[in-house]
Amino acid sequence: MPADLHPRLLRGFVATAETLHFGQAAARLHVAQQALSRDIRTLERLLGRELFTRTTRSVALTEAGERLLPQARRLLALQAEMVAPPPRRTVLVDLNSAVTGADLTADRILAAARAADPQATLLARYHGGLAAGARELLAGRLDVSFGWFSGLPPESRERLLQRPVRLERVALLLPQGHPLAGRTAIRTAELVGHPVDICAGNPATTEWTEFGERLLAAHGLTAAGAGSYPVGAAETARYLARHGHPMLTTVGGPELPGVVTRPLVDPVPLTLVSLVRRPGQGDPGIGLIASCAAELGEREGWLLRPPASWLTAADEALLAGRP
């Protein structure tokens, strides 16, 4: 086939062969009929054969035209396949937990991304915590997770990338009968004598347990002993009612039956939530998640540190851009 055979000539030929009418074929292609006729003559000259028989009343394919038609269709289909954008890959986003709340960071970011691009294929996953999410990231079974990056093992941090997203205020979940449940906020010093549940023993949230240990140690507080960890809102409510210890959480989480959420103050403890992913991921869906996280954070001041707050040294280093 001649090297200078342009796909435009084949498109004109196929349209004319399918309509057997130069005017209708030109209208389908949004070109002038004169231009289409010129392209057909050019194609016939390049191939050295007539493709149509023309009269004042009709147009018909010649035998050469009949042979060329399926070949032209295959070539045009191949060209369309070659220039088509790659299919959009499904991006797996870890929300940590299937329990939804009014102001959970990962939930809001995913909702914003889906609203920004309804055609993006973004699927939520619920691995329970960043420790479990990091294992899935490193195994290639997850694309994005969120949580306290500084609490991951060093060997995991070295293989993952993080972007600070939000400073979340730390709070406590308390059963309604707890002595501190009547407060609107709980001063950190009031927790002396009240062991705090930091989810010790849960392999999915070891990073959160690490954060709790640092927070309690910095303020002279004690942790409750490890137990069988609950999964889900209803089980967490039963667990709290049974054990009675306040459980470390963040502001903006779900409402649980028989449980109240109270923020910690004096000082206000903060935990840095990061977007965590593997290096070298250039997927548009991941970029969409990251851009929506940045836009939400900018609009709502997610990374502005309030006065009289407490932050781990590791989080201060991440915010400052240091390793």
Residues 53 and 188 in one domain: no
Give the model confidence (pLDDT) of 260-307 as tens digits: 999 999 999 999 999 999 998 778 999 999 999 999 999 999 999 999
The overall longest dimension of the chain from CA atoms, in Å, is 102
- At 3 the pLDDT is 54
| Structure confidence at residue 2 (pLDDT) | 53
15 and 161, same domain (yes or no): no
Return the pLDDT at 255. Answer: 87
Confidence label for 44 from pLDDT (cuts 50, 70 and 90): very high
Tell me what pLDDT residue 251 has.
93
**Is pLDDT of 99 > 70?**
yes
Query: What is the C-alpha separation between 211 and 201, in angstroms, rounded?
Result: 14
Based on the fold, state whether residues 120 and 183 are members of the same structural domain: yes
Please tell me the distance from the alpha carbon of residue 312 to that of residue 273, in angstroms, as a whole number. Answer: 12
Q: Which domain holds residue 240?
A: 91-319
* Residues 159 and 50 placed together within one structural domain of the fold: no
pLDDT at 83: 85
Q: In this structure, are residues 79 and 6 in contact, taking their beta carbons and an 8 Å threshold?
A: no
Q: Do the domain assignments include residue 257?
A: yes
Q: Flag whether pLDDT at 208 surpasses 90.
A: yes
Respond yes or no on whether the N-terminal peptide bond of residue 267 is cis (omega within 30° of 0): yes
**Structural domain total, the chain:** 2
pLDDT band, very low/low/confident/very high, at 323 (cuts 50, 70, 90)? very low
- Is pLDDT at 121 greater than 50 in this prediction? yes
pTM for this prediction: 0.74
Question: If you average pLDDT over residues 119-126, what whole number do you get?
Answer: 94
Burial 181-194, CB ≥16 within 10 A → b, else e = bebeebebeebeeb
Lowest mean pLDDT among 98-102, 111-115, 297-301: 98-102
In sequence order, which residues have a C-beta less than 8 Å from that of residue 281 and are 6 or more positions away? 143
Round to whole Å and give the CA distance between 222 and 197.
9
Integer Cα distance of 120 and 288 in angstroms: 9
β-pair partners for 123? 92
Residue where a domain stops, chosen among 33, 59, 83: 83
